[in-house]
Amino acid sequence: MENVVTWEQYERAQRLHPANYYDAIFNAFVRPNWISGNQFWYIRELRLEKGTGRQYVIVDAEQNTSQPAFDHERLAVCLSCHAGKTYSAETLPLGELMFTESGSAFQFEMDGTVWKCDLQEYSCKPIDHFKKPTMDELPSPDGKWVAFIYDHNLYVRSLETGRRIRLTYDGKAYYDYGTQPECRLSTVAERLNGSKLPPVVIWSPDSKMLLTHRLDQRKVREMHLIQSVPKGEGVRPVLHSYRYPIVGDEHVPLAELVICNLETRTIVRIESEPLQACPVSPLTPGMQMAGWSSDSKQIYITRMSRDARSVDFSVADACTGEVCTLLREQSDTFLNQDLHNLGASNPNIRLLADGSFIWHSERDGWSHLYHCDGKTGAIRNPITSGPWTVRRLMAVDEQQGWVYITGGGLEEGRDPYYQHLYRVRLDGTGLSLLTPEDAEHDIVFSPTMKYFVDTFSRVDLPPVTVLRSVDGSLIRELEYADVEMLLEMGYQFPERITVKARDGVTDLYGVMLRPFPFDSSRKYPVVDYIYGGPQIINTPKAFALDPGRNHDPLGGGQSLAQLGFIVLILDGMGTPYRSKAFHDVSDRKLEEAGGLLDHMTAVRQLAERYPYVDIDRVGIWGSSGGGYASTRAILSFPDCYKVAVSACGNHDQRLYIAAWAERYQGLYDPVLYRDQDNARLAANLKGKLLLVSGDMDDNVHPSQTIRMADALVKADKDFDMLILPNRHHGFSMEPYFIRRKWDYFIRHLMRAEPPWGNQIANKKASDREPIEK
């Protein structure tokens, strides 16, 4: 061992654990809540002497004004009087505000009670009769109804009267209405946590109909988990079963589309074959494969084949259920028809008022949009074209003939992954850039499409939020993220890097974090943080924060840098958002693991570029697909990667969810699936490998890790293994796992000894003093 890592180093690293530093960042996420076509409110975060506060701000885009939404002092006094407890003007816990049309009053929920506040007299009173939607209900667009599931059937409830109406009658277990399949990768976790899900329903724009499905899981085979440490007083292990199709299984969940008419109480069954519902429902927001026309008269249906090599586009009459197939596309490699970002509410498809539609395709080798005829499906014209990538179809202004999109790779000299907002005419002319800053842009349009709020940032540029007119002109700056406390804690901006891919020609983009403090005369070990799946990129492009606070986009990189490691994050060939050919490197080759060969090539380039990079001490870690990739790395390139931490890895795709593996690797064939199995490489292990799994992982079953361990035992290899009781798939932010990961890299890669008895705790940034620079 070289030395002993000190408590002070662990303390610095602990401060830079995201759970500890998120409270040191202010106004990084500005979410506009539109009241009318021109006004919106948002929450401004306040940095107080002790702790944090908030101010509610209202913006009028048309008048270009910004002011407090109300008198916070008066409201605090009023609420303190009526609620029987003291409230501060700077810490009002109001949650979501619902303004009246005139803006003279608003409703909010506080401490479990719904209040109404008159802004003219500043009188507040609780609303006893208000029935807000619950977590397992989905409101209609007009706010009058909520849909919910009871006893396998679909119901609606009036928010005004509480009246309940049953819409379906023949639902039963595993053949029910409006539910997600059990293979949704979180079923057991949700059962144990008591989570409630809203129904799988898409309301029509006029709030008169509901598009849903009857989900058939009756023939889907089961998967099982054993809860060895049940919570409560019982000690007997508990069996948890759930339907989960793996590669080659005959049956997957199927969704039979239906439309429920709220006015007539009738059901229209769509006259087409069921859609696959694996791993989630095809009506899931952000991943939906069907949706409504703006006039509520039609629905569109996008049907992918099980191997994702063909896709059909159809339109159905909402009154009769009759279906017309307009377009069919096929490819020798996997299709990316659902290229829209996970979590986005709209796919890159749109039915237009004149009957035509916008279609997304990579038919010319790049992700682009096409304007198609609504009767024949023929392409009228490309809307976009060229060697760049359309990422998201944001909005369509049919009256003015503009299509609003985000795209990357069009601005010369910039990271091609950065999303900029553009507009282009429906006929493909007039393409113009609306967000000129060299950064990743997050866009929220106003309902009238006259304005949009733009938050732009990079890993080395804290978020800036501005209000723009629809033509891109700047109206006003709203917020600059305050990161002063974060920098005082020792946070360092990641360095953006570019290296060449394995072909020596293609540029690859990533980030690197240097140790802190940094001494260029020293040699530092490297930790490569990898994901490895072909469906997403791993390198953060915006400022490296997660709004939900349950994921670290840097993979713990800030903390590892504080401990003395160089951290690399890179997207190799075989990952999305570049050309189709770039992505196709992963086709039927999941063993590519997100361009693993490019990662190794990049490490060598960095060692040549920077003398302080120690090419003889390179480690790698990742979770899920990154667990597969990190194990793959140390087994495929043992002379490069000396240490690997592999969390919940899907080491053999034959045992993983059918929809993911078959999409990228193809339908099951023993030869095709042979080379991707990590167990076949067990004899190659030379370095130090830590395998980690939660025993209740309903995404990547723990048997994946155990089978990998079995192969290593049979190969007579030394390795380390950690099973975390009652943990599901996402434990990478958990203090115990983080500490074990740090210790492992320190012992085996840094060749040092971690401090004895160290323990990581989650503490707020305000609880800590700034470190000395």
The mean pLDDT value for 295-301 works out to 97
pLDDT score at 138: 97
The two three-digit tokens of residue 408, written as one number:
């990357």
The mean pLDDT value for 448-474 works out to 98
Asked whether residue 345 carries a pLDDT value surpassing 70, the answer given is: no
pLDDT confidence bin for 285, thresholds 50/70/90: confident
pLDDT confidence bin for 1, thresholds 50/70/90: very low
Q: Which region among 219-228, 461-470, 753-762 has the lowest average model confidence (pLDDT)?
A: 753-762
pLDDT score at 283: 96
Cα dihedral sign, 447-452-458-464: negative
Name the residue among 506, 741, 495, 484 with its Cα closest to residue 601: 506
The two three-digit tokens of residue 612, written as one number:
């302080």
Helix (H) or strand (E) holding 259: strand 254-261
pLDDT score at 130: 63
Phi, psi (5° rounding) for residue 287? -135, 20
pLDDT confidence bin for 109, thresholds 50/70/90: confident
pLDDT confidence bin for 83, thresholds 50/70/90: confident
pLDDT score at 342: 46
Of 347 and 733, the one with more pLDDT: 733
User: How does pLDDT run across 532-552, given as a tens digit for each residue?
Assistant: 999 999 999 999 888 777 889
Structural domains of the chain ordered from first start:
23-126 (no CATH), 485-756 (3.40.50.1820)
Asked whether residue 3 carries a pLDDT value surpassing 80, the answer given is: no
pLDDT confidence bin for 150, thresholds 50/70/90: very high
User: How does pLDDT run across 234-282, given as a tens digit for each residue?
Assistant: 899 999 999 999 999 999 999 999 999 999 999 999 999 999 999 999 9
Q: Rounded to an integer, what distance in angstroms lies between the CA atom of residue 718 and that of residue 713?
A: 8
Q: What is the DSSP letter of 219?
A: T
pLDDT confidence bin for 576, thresholds 50/70/90: very high
Per cent of the chain over pLDDT 70 is 96
Asked whether residue 175 carries a pLDDT value surpassing 80, the answer given is: yes
Strands 613-623 and 643-647: parallel
CA atoms within 13 A on the CB side of 665: 30
Of 188 and 52, the one with more pLDDT: 188
The mean pLDDT value for 642-650 works out to 99
Q: Rounded to an integer, what distance in angstroms lies between the CA atom of residue 193 and that of residue 198?
A: 15
The two three-digit tokens of residue 135, written as one number:
């977590």
Q: Rounded to an integer, what distance in angstroms lies between the CA atom of residue 334 and that of residue 669?
A: 16
Q: Rounded to an integer, what distance in angstroms lies between the CA atom of residue 351 and that of residue 698?
A: 37
The mean pLDDT value for 315-343 works out to 86
pLDDT score at 287: 86
Residues whose CB is less than 8 angstroms from the CB of residue 193 and which lie 6 or more positions away in sequence, other chains included: none
Name the residue among 54, 71, 59 with its Cα closest to residue 34: 59
Q: Rounded to an integer, what distance in angstroms lies between the CA atom of residue 272 and that of residue 275?
A: 9
Strand, helix or coil for residue 251: coil
pLDDT score at 517: 87
Of 49 and 668, the one with more pLDDT: 668
Asked whether residue 557 carries a pLDDT value surpassing 90, the answer given is: yes
Strand, helix or coil for residue 667: coil
User: How does pLDDT run across 657-701, given as a tens digit for each residue?
Assistant: 999 999 999 999 999 999 999 999 999 999 999 999 999 999 999
Q: Which region among 110-119, 169-178, 298-307 has the lowest average model confidence (pLDDT)?
A: 110-119
Per cent of the chain over pLDDT 90 is 85
Q: Rounded to an integer, what distance in angstroms lies between the CA atom of residue 5 and that of residue 688?
A: 19
Q: Rounded to an integer, what distance in angstroms lies between the CA atom of residue 656 and that of residue 701?
A: 8
The two three-digit tokens of residue 571, written as one number:
């997207």
Helix (H) or strand (E) holding 755: none
Q: Which region among 86-95, 450-459, 618-627, 703-712 has the lowest average model confidence (pLDDT)?
A: 86-95
pLDDT score at 761: 65
Asked whether residue 112 carries a pLDDT value surpassing 90, the answer given is: no
pLDDT score at 344: 53
pLDDT score at 539: 97
Q: How far is CA 671 from the centre of its chain?
A: 33
Q: Rounded to an integer, what distance in angstroms lies between the CA atom of residue 468 and that of residue 445?
A: 10
pLDDT score at 236: 96
Asked whether residue 766 carries a pLDDT value surpassing 50, the answer given is: no
Asked whether residue 768 carries a pLDDT value surpassing 70, the answer given is: no
Asked whether residue 763 carries a pLDDT value surpassing 60, the answer given is: no
